[in-house]
Amino acid sequence: MDKNIIGLIGLGYVGLPLSIAFSKKYKTFGFDINVKRVEELNKGIDTTDEAMLSELKNQINNNLVLTSDSKKLSDCNIYIITVPTPITQFKTPDLSYLISASKTVGSILKKEDVVIYESTVYPGCTEEECVPLLEKYSGLKYNNDFYCGYSPERINPGDKINILTKIKKVTSGSTPAVAEKVDKLYASIIEAGTHKASSIKVAEASKAIENAQRDLNISFVNELALIFDRIGIDTNEVIEAAATKWNFLKFKPGLVGGHCISVDPYYLAHKAQSLGYYPEVILSGRRVNDNMGIFVANKSIKLMNKKGIQVRGAKALLLGITFKENCPDIRNSKVPDIYNELKSFGMQVDVYDPYASSYDVEKEFGIKMISKTNHYDLIILAVAHKEFMELDFNDGLKRDKESVIYDLKSVLDINQVDARL
């Protein structure tokens, strides 16, 4: 057993898989302030569906301690912080979780300890915002008494193929020696290998642009969808034709939510604006993607009007509310935008999702999900859960043959739907 003792702060989509992986090599303590979450995990229950339960139970019985008591982390010499970094209602970075975690670690930090951040941030955040807190609450001096590293998380929720150990890891450290130590630490669990960045800022920036690039690619095809809707041609048919050229990037239009793609560009933009530069391209992409839910709702109303369906009082069904298919993650889902817009037209709107937690959906969005569907004037396939691929829309879902079906994911037979995004 290696002398490293790992303390993981945050046991969500990122922290839990990391805790399990590290505990196969090192004594590992996983900490979360959510007492209920810790209790469930210790019973082998994972509501994120990210962990293999057999592995979780096995490691808890061996080398993994899960706790909500920060004092139990005091013997650790490597701390890894994996807390959420969302945005505020004003689209600015919300560092409250990161600040709280830094204070917690700072209060138990010892000489020679290393603190590694995985949470997505803007370039410079670790050393400008977190390090001063570590110094203040520990009484120690950065790069003399303790050290830092940054290794951006690359977890893809719901993906059972590209799991933690199969994704190459970017690493960095506050000194060359610490950078090497951090790199070797991750190399011991990541089968895909590591990439040692030249500095913490470079590693921070690499994560921000990964998701900003994807956001912009999707915003481009979303804007094409808006244009082609006005022209009256199918966006997916255009993309299929264009994709016959070898260098065409085949992105598809859709709602952009989740913990990274819809958030990280704002972190990068925040840093740019603080330095006096207004990022036109990044923010224009965000504006397009943020408004797609409104477009979908208004397009649905037009489709209903075209078929002579009375909008006010009509019944609509939204199939799916998670931000992506086949996983329970609802973070920053844009489906509620469609829900709220349809409600504003006086429609009765039901939401059905076999993966999402009814409790979490009501708490986060104020939406009460249904457990049994009815008959509807409008059906919107918002998320491509595998269960939805087997639905017979004509038997039990459509109120009558004039009911509108809008396929946002382009996964249904084109002859079965009235429109695709």
Active-site residue list: 260
Q: In whole angstroms, what is the distance from residue 86 CA to residue 93 CA?
A: 6
What SS3 state is found at 26?
Answer: coil
Q: In whole angstroms, what is the distance from residue 207 CA to residue 170 CA?
A: 9
Instruction: Give, in order, the Cα–Cα distances in Å from 254 to each of 288, 290, 322.
Output: 11, 11, 13
The torsion angles phi and psi of 328, rounded to 5 degrees, stand at: -90, 5
Contact present, 64 and 169 (Cβ < 8 Å): no
Contact present, 114 and 148 (Cβ < 8 Å): yes
CA Rg, the chain, in Å? 23
Contact present, 171 and 183 (Cβ < 8 Å): yes
Q: In whole angstroms, what is the distance from residue 170 CA to residue 278 CA?
A: 28
H-helix or E-strand spanning residue 226: helix 200-231
Select from 44, 42, 21, 43 the least CA-distant residue to 32. 42
Six token digits for residue 197: 């960045």
Q: In whole angstroms, what is the distance from residue 173 CA to residue 418 CA?
A: 54
Please, which residues have CB within 8 angstroms of residue 60's CB and are 6 or more apart in sequence? Answer: 41, 42, 44, 66
Contact present, 358 and 392 (Cβ < 8 Å): no
Helices (H), 27-156: 35-42, 53-60, 96-106, 125, 131-138
Which residue type is seen at 258? G
Q: Which residue has the tokens 């690619």?
A: 217
Q: Which residue has the tokens 């011991």?
A: 188
Six token digits for residue 81: 């912080």
Contact present, 168 and 101 (Cβ < 8 Å): no
DSSP 87: B
Q: Which residue has the tokens 């079906």?
A: 405
